[in-house]
Each structure stands twice: as structure tokens, then as C-alpha cells.
Amino acid sequence: LALDETLRRDGGGADPGGPGGVARAVSAPPLTGSPPAAGLRDRSLSFRSRALGGQFHFIQFETARMQEAMLLIRAAGLHRTVSSMGATGGGAHKYAAQWADELGIVTERHAEMDCMVAGMQFVLDSVVGECYTFKPRANTAEEEAARSTSPAVDEWWWSRRVPRDTICQDGTVYPYLLVSIGTGVSILRVDGPRRHERISGSTIGGGTYWGLCRLLTDVESFDGALALAERGDPGKVDMLVGDIYGKNSKALDKLGLPSTVVAASFGKLVAKKNPAAGIKEEDLARALLGMVTNNIGQVAYLNACICETSRIYFVGNFLRHNKISQQRLAFAINYWSKSRMEALFLEHEGHFGALGAFLLNQDIPANFMQDSAPDEMAAGPTDTPEKERPTSITRGVLRRASFFAA
């Protein structure tokens, strides 16, 4: 899944191709005859930066629709006042010539990990309500009964979303671990503002899940695979500890493991004469998602132990609209660390590279937010009266190609 994102700082104005045109462009419907996927804006992610004097908007579109995205930009006249833009990822190189030839915009390329860290730290320092985790729901008698029959791989009761306000500019949040889940997985140790080092990674990531899903199911999109997984029962596919020792075995007490813990992903299919009998596509999709997520969580936990940090931020396109993996990671990190560590998630995950490329291209320093008040996410540019919109001469456009990879 290749995604491209356009981010624009809106500073007001009357020129259709200038800053004021951005508010109209990002809220306008798709071009006539253009598929909706040509440009999708998540209005809930827009936020106003008091420090920079403008509004951030996020639009994503598939790489396969690059030409349509460029037509949208041209139709809105957004290219008229832009001579260069910051970009990162593989598409920053692949499409640089096309942007220059068709729109006259020079692509200024920046390192992907530098952009991701810069964008993430900017949002953590400036946006209230950005960070959250998951905790168990209140234990009612009904839910306790459900626990005894629901496979632990689901951990569906870890669905209570809890905000984590991490705005902190005194350095006490460092070091922390940043786990970027795309096609593969990259793990960075962040030691300070824009100070980071890639310390580990894994080839088992979102690309693994999506590739195997295409082999095992008939779904045609990643979002379709996630929707399919939500209906699945991994207990029909995974071998559980209870399948080996029995659900009420005294051996489980000695092991310190509940019967519903997964002993072997997809292991239950080994002993079946016909492994496909009684198994639905959604069961395979759910078990596969759990297997990939568990592996990522284990690798992240072990690296956090090495780095002696309790904060693990999980980001990347794999987690976008993927509450199953988020909740599983929250449970797994808490379980393995005996509550000493916490899995943290961010509202703008998947967009940090785009935002970071903008910041680096505008030469905005790492400590820019230290003397600024935090911002809150806004509903969108059209919800603010024109006279109240900030004006600024600092403007920029960014397009990022993020190939669902770390």
C-alpha cells in the first residue's frame, strides 16, 4: 500500500492559488469524474499552530492515483505560488521529475527517519490530546465470564482508550523507543529533539500481513483485510496452551500461564486431516494479524529492555484504523513488562514523515516549540470564520511518498 500525502499550511488570503485557496481546496469535493481515492482528507486531524500562525491539513492519496492528485493541485491553483516542497520516502525520488515537469515544483528531499522523528516531536510538543494508550475495561460479572471463553489472543477487553498527555519540553521523556510499522519494522531510540539512532528492526511487518492475506483470502485492499479480521476467531487457527495441557490442568499453575495463551500461531491446523475444514477467511485474517502483531510487540519489548526505557511509541501506516493491533500491543507490552512499560499511540501516525519534511524544509528548529503554548486539533478550516484565521508569510506545500515501509 503506497500512500502519498499533501500537507499545507493555510495562512489566509484571497488569491485562489495562494494560502486562502488552500482552505477551499482541502474542503472541496473531488474533481468531477475523479475517484474519491484521488484525495482523502481526514478533517479530524487538522490543527492550528499558534506558533507558526497557520493551519495544518492532511490529505492522502494512493500512488497509483498520482496523476489525479496532481490534477487536483493544478485545478486548485496550489502550485502557482510554490517553487519547491519538502518530501521524503521513495516517492520523493521516483516522482521528482514529474512534479518539476508538470507543476514546476522542485522536490527538496529529506531523510525519511529524520522527517518522521521531527514530525512526531513537533506534534507531541504542540498538540493536546495527541497521545493515548489502551487499558482494560471495568470488570463486570458478564465480562469476567466472557474472559473464560474468549481466546487471550484477542484481549478484546483491553479496549478502554486512555489519553496520555506527553507534552514535555524539559527532556524528562527521553530516551524513548519509536517503532515504525510499515512494510517492515524499524526501531529507533530517541535521545532528544531530533536526536535518534536506528537500533533494530524486523522483516515481519505490515507487508508480511498484507502479502499473506492476499494468498490466504480474497480481500482486495488492506482496509478490507482489517475489516475481515474483525469478524474472525483466531482460536480456530492458533494452538493454545489449553489445547496442549488441558484447560484445567495443574501444570498450567506451575507454568503460570492461562489456558487461552497462544502456544503456536496457526498450530491448530497441524493436527487436522484437512486444515481448511471449518476455517473461514476471517479466522485466517485474524490469526495472521495476531501473529504479526505479537512478533512486533516482542521485538519492541526486548529493545526497550536493552535501552532501559518504559515508553514505546508505535507509529506507521500499519496501525492506521487498526484498533486490533493497537489493543493487542497495549496488552502485550504491559504483560511482558509486568506493567513497567507502556505502549503509546498517536493520532497523526502515518503522517509524521510528511509533517517532518515540511518542518525541515522550512528550517524550523527543533526547539521552536519550547516557548509556545500547545495547540488543539481543530475540526477544519471552514469551521473558523475568515477574519479569525491566522495570517502568515511562512507557507509551504509538502507531498510525501510513504511506501507502507519503515
What residues act catalytically? 112
Identify the CA nearest to 86 among candidates 389, 405, 401. Answer: 401
Cell of 333: 507490552
DSSP character at residue 403: -
Please name the residues in contact with 232: beta carbons below 8 A apart, sequence gap of 6 or more.
280, 281, 282, 283, 284, 285, 286, 287
Q: Which helix (H) or strand (E) holds 229?
A: helix 222-230
CA 44, 130, 221, 357 dihedral sign is positive
User: Would you give the distance in Å from CA 70 to the centre of its chain?
Assistant: 24
Phi, psi of 25 (to 5 degrees): -70, -45
Q: What is the rounded CA–CA span in Å between residue 144 and residue 205?
A: 33
Please check whether residue 133 is in contact with residue 342, taking contact to mean a CB–CB distance below 8 angstroms: yes
DSSP states of 18-68 as a string?
SHHHHHHHHHSPPPTT--GGG-EE-GGG-EEETTTTEEEEEEEEEGGGHHH
C-alpha distances (whole Å) from 208 to each of 21, 54, 286, 394 are 41, 39, 14, 41
